[in-house]
Chain A
Amino acid sequence: MTNTDLTETFCEQIRDAEEKGTPLAITGGGSKMFYGRRPDINAISLDTTRHCGIISYEPSELVIQARSGTPLRDIETRLSDNNQMLAFEPPHFSENATLGGTIACGLSGPRRPYHGAARDFVLGTRVINGKGEPLHFGGQVMKNVAGYDVSRLMAGSLGTLGLIAEVSLKVLPRPACEYTLKQVCNQAEALRRFADWSGRPLPLSAACWYEDHLYLRLSGNEDGLRHAQHRLGDSLLESLPDWWDNLRDHKHPFFNRPDPLWRLSVPPATPPLAVKGDWFIDWGGAQRWLYSNDNPEQIRRLVTSIGGHATLFRNATERIEVFHPLPTPLLKLQQRIKRAMDPAGILNPGRLYPEL
């Protein structure tokens, strides 16, 4: 595997862009180009893929540290050779996904409700801010409360606050075995069952629903799983090795439509929402994928009223904002934070919100 440190080059490039006021588009593997708002048409591409390599990995410390351009699959292979994993199960969406893009997007896979999100596993970062200064926050240790938690702030910031140069992530042991249970039921019943089971000590590691079936993944040791299977009622035990990966990476046929795809993030026990459309429910009810012709503003109003938010995840049209509008005081605060990290506003401007 290649091992190259381009931190200095990036710093220079960013300093130069700051001086000239030229926007930069930070580009990883390009796997998540569909996601978020379009890069500024005047932006110069800053490619991170050659800035790569695993810097340190010690299984007994449960930490991996790598440069941002490192392919996600290289990281996962190294972990898997040692029976460990990224417990937030990051979506790849393509072979090219990089570690930097993964954290910048902050997306998490089916395991998220039971083990935590991408940001939860970030222990430290090296970040280059909009002034071209290399900065180090957090570290390699599990607990660290010195200074503000800038590292976790980077998760999901879509490269608008800084270029992520390195990331240290907490990793977890891989479970000894995994089963998938499948039960026949409608959406409302599935949501009720998810809420009930999530409040009980069960070895759940994923729960989704689609087309009158719910699917549960159980992770742990053989004995524990068999025991849990009995407690979860009549269900088929299926060998569905690809099911969860296909859901994670949107390879399931559901995701293969050219229409705008909504991602609704809602409190998990929310009953079925009164929106006509085609639903795929993940995260035990907390992440709901939807194709719908209903009025976008109406969808957003409904989701806001229950404490959630709605993203136009794929196939966004020009007319509709990708990310859920923020209340004015919060947007102003986020603008001030953007300015604190990137005073000239040159890093991925407009990728998250037009104002950031």
Chain B
Amino acid sequence: MDRNTFIAGLSDLPARCILKDEAELRPYECDGLSAYRRLPWLVLLPETIEQVQFILAYCHTHNVPVVARGAGTGLSGGALPLDNGVLLGLAKFSRIIDIDLPNRLARVQPGVRNLAITQAVAEHGLYYAPDPSSQIACSIGGNVAENAGGVHCLKYGLTVHNIAELKLITIEGELLTIGSPSLDSAGYDLLALLTGSEGLLGVIVEVTVRLLPAPEQAQVVLAAFDSVAAAGQAVADIISQGILPAGLELMDTLAVRAAEDFVHAGYPTDAAAILLCELDGEQHEVEVQIDKVTQLLQASGANEVRRARDEAERLRFWAGRKAAFPAVGRLSPDYYCMDGTIPRKHLGQVLSTIAQWSKAYGLPVANVFHAGDGNLHPLILYDANKPGELERTEEFGARILELCIAVGGTITGEHGVGMEKIDQMCVQFNEAELQQFHAIKQAFDANGLLNPGKAVPTLARCAEFGSMHVHHGELPFPELERF
């Protein structure tokens, strides 16, 4: 449909909700994965549920595709706009609608920032557990679409474990309520199906999240190791001893040094790796477990084990971890953040393979990740201005993901598939499985208008991707061990 005709049909929307000039569209050309950019055809910023219903029904009638966008912090290009469709921004839905203290629920609009929820309920001794590192900026709607997680995942789960109800608008413009303020609801568990569906099944216009009591005490220990493998082994030792940390994070030497330079957390910069292990809960329980973890870390070869002396030091230890991405960003003009998950027992093996490949590609890698979940975030440092370097980086990244699949893991633990990992979906899933995803998509969006081209590849795309691998003959770096 012609853009001007389309806009003319939007006369029910206030003019302030329609962005159509290039200067207004420019800020929406990418999300957190800035390697992919595209000027949107049109940006719409509705303010009410009725307006969202109207826009979707209108797009449906005219067969115009729609991409939902939260805060645009996504790292897989999920909110990358289309040059022939609407970018539907939900930033104006930024109100906390209701806090139900006795039932520990907060009903919020999708544009509310993750951290804002905890800030709103902290005075009641409650908090919202999933804490992506982007929590000061990312929206709860985007969190649901990506099933976002963070440091607290191992103990407190991902977004899917911490939400109760969604209000969803279908591509036909129908408003559905999924889930309930009870602990379960009748029929199929569509709440689980929708969480992590990357904006392909509907637009989320309200989220009811579960709140948890803030733990009585949180205590962190920092352990330094001579090798990343030893730190990886320590992770397994802690978990097999029946201890479930609230956070168990690993940083390698490059990440440690970058973070230390940046925030002065007091990290030992000569360590090959550090582990941060946080325990939380009832005060006495935490005391006992901290002692146990300290012993375990010493026994597993840590050359230094330090317990945060006070709350200020605890926060400093975490400040370094939380700032690790931007800190690494200061080391290089660009970096590419990967997001694969592997069974924890393969940590050592996978990290050392990545280190070998890093040398072979001539691209440094910093590792900072959720070790307790086996969720890796290798950051590949590169310079987009050097010809060919982005392509090499992407190839290296793709091999890391394929390595994750080969050891029994997955191509994305929390950032989603988006545009970025769509080819690797063909490696993780076979034809029948992808067909099943398409059939489910059809049940929601028969004409494929919601976020087309993302998350689930067409079989034609897989055939091309596969043939690239087969016909290419020699893989790069044949001398390197493969899994």
Contact = CB atoms under 8 A, between A and B. Distances in A.
Interface in A202-253: 202-203, 220-221, 223-224, 227-228
A221 B284 CA distance: 8
B433 A220 contact: no
Interface string A282-320: 010011000000000000000000011101000000000
A217 B221 CA distance: 30
B375 interface: yes
A142 B215 contact: no
Interface centre among A148, A265, A327 (most CB of B within 10 A): A148
A151 to B, nearest CB: 8
A60 B157 CA distance: 18
A48 B457 CA distance: 33
Interface stretch (B179-187, B306-314, B471-479): B179-187
Nearest to A136: B433
Given A135-B436, A147-B429, A329-B174, A60 B236 contact: yes
Contacts of A188: none
B285 A220 contact: yes
A201 B410 contact: no
Interface of A: 58-63, 83-84, 106, 112-113, 116-117, 119-120, 129, 133-137, 139-150, 152-153, 155-157, 161, 172-174, 176, 195, 198-203, 220-221, 223-224, 227-228, 265-269, 283, 286-287, 307-309, 311, 323-327, 329-331, 333-334, 336-337, 339-341, 352-353
Interface string B96-117: 0000111111000000000000
B423 interface: no
Interface centre among A198, A201, A334 (most CB of B within 10 A): A201
Interface centre among B187, B244, B411 (most CB of A within 10 A): B187
Contacts of A326: 186-187
B157 A120 contact: yes
B27 interface: no
Interface in B437-463: 437, 439-444, 455-456
B439 A202 contact: no
Interface stretch (B1-9, B295-303, B338-346): B338-346
Interface stretch (B36-44, B85-93, B145-153, B326-334): B145-153
Nearest to B375: A143
Contacts of B201: 148
Nearest to B344: A61
Contacts of A62: 239
B169 to A, nearest CB: 11
Given A145-B147, A146-B425, A195 B102 contact: yes
B188 A119 contact: no
Given A201-B216, A227-B284, A116 B180 contact: no
Contact of B126 (A119, A199, A220): A199
B213 A139 contact: no
Contact of B102 (A106, A266, A269, A283): A269
A83 B154 CA distance: 18
B193 interface: yes
A333 B288 CA distance: 50
Nearest to A227: B284
A266 B186 CA distance: 12
B428 interface: yes
B478 to A, nearest CB: 28
Contacts, number: 267
Interface centre among B178, B192, B237 (most CB of A within 10 A): B192
A203 B213 CA distance: 11
Contacts of B287: 223
Contacts of A58: 343, 345
Contacts of B131: none
Contact of A307 (B180, B414, B428): B180
Given A62-B239, A286-B182, A221 B285 contact: yes
A343 to B, nearest CB: 8
A235 to B, nearest CB: 17
Contact of B443 (A84, A203, A286, A337): A337
A333 B443 CA distance: 7
B373 interface: yes
Contacts of A334: 187-188, 190
Contacts of B147: 145, 149
A265 B184 contact: yes
Interface string B244-266: 10000000000000000000000
B443 to A, nearest CB: 4
A148 B153 CA distance: 19
Contacts of B183: 112-113, 117, 265, 268, 283, 286-287
Nearest to A270: B103
Contacts of B60: none
B213 A199 contact: yes
B362 interface: no
A120 B410 CA distance: 18
A152 B189 contact: yes
A63 B239 CA distance: 12
B59 interface: no
B417 interface: yes
Nearest to B428: A146
Nearest to A231: B282
Contact of B149 (A113, A143, A199): A143
Given A145-B196, A341-B436, A200 B213 contact: yes
Given A116-B157, A203-B282, 8 more contacts: A140-B343, A147-B417, A147-B425, A148-B196, A153-B188, A173-B244, A198-B104, A283-B183
Contacts of A83: 242
A124 to B, nearest CB: 9
B189 A61 contact: no
A140 B408 contact: yes
Contact of B187 (A174, A195, A323): A323
Given A199-B213, A307-B181, A334-B187, A145 B146 contact: yes
Contacts of B374: 141-143
Nearest to B436: A135
B443 A339 contact: yes
B158 interface: yes
Contacts of A139: 408-410
Interface centre among A116, A156, A202, A267 (most CB of B within 10 A): A267
B412 interface: yes
Contacts of B425: 146-147
Nearest to B285: A224
Contacts of A143: 149, 153, 158, 341, 370, 373-375, 410, 413-414
A324 B186 contact: yes
A145 B439 contact: no
Contacts of B436: 129, 133, 135, 150, 340-341
A202 B158 CA distance: 22
Contacts of B360: none
7 contacts: A145-B415, A173-B242, A223-B288, A224-B281, A268-B103, A330-B177, A339-B443
Contacts of B192: 119, 149, 152-153, 155
Contacts of A201: 125, 213-216, 281-282
Contact of A59 (B161, B178, B240, B456): B240
B176 A329 contact: yes
A330 B161 CA distance: 22
B349 interface: no
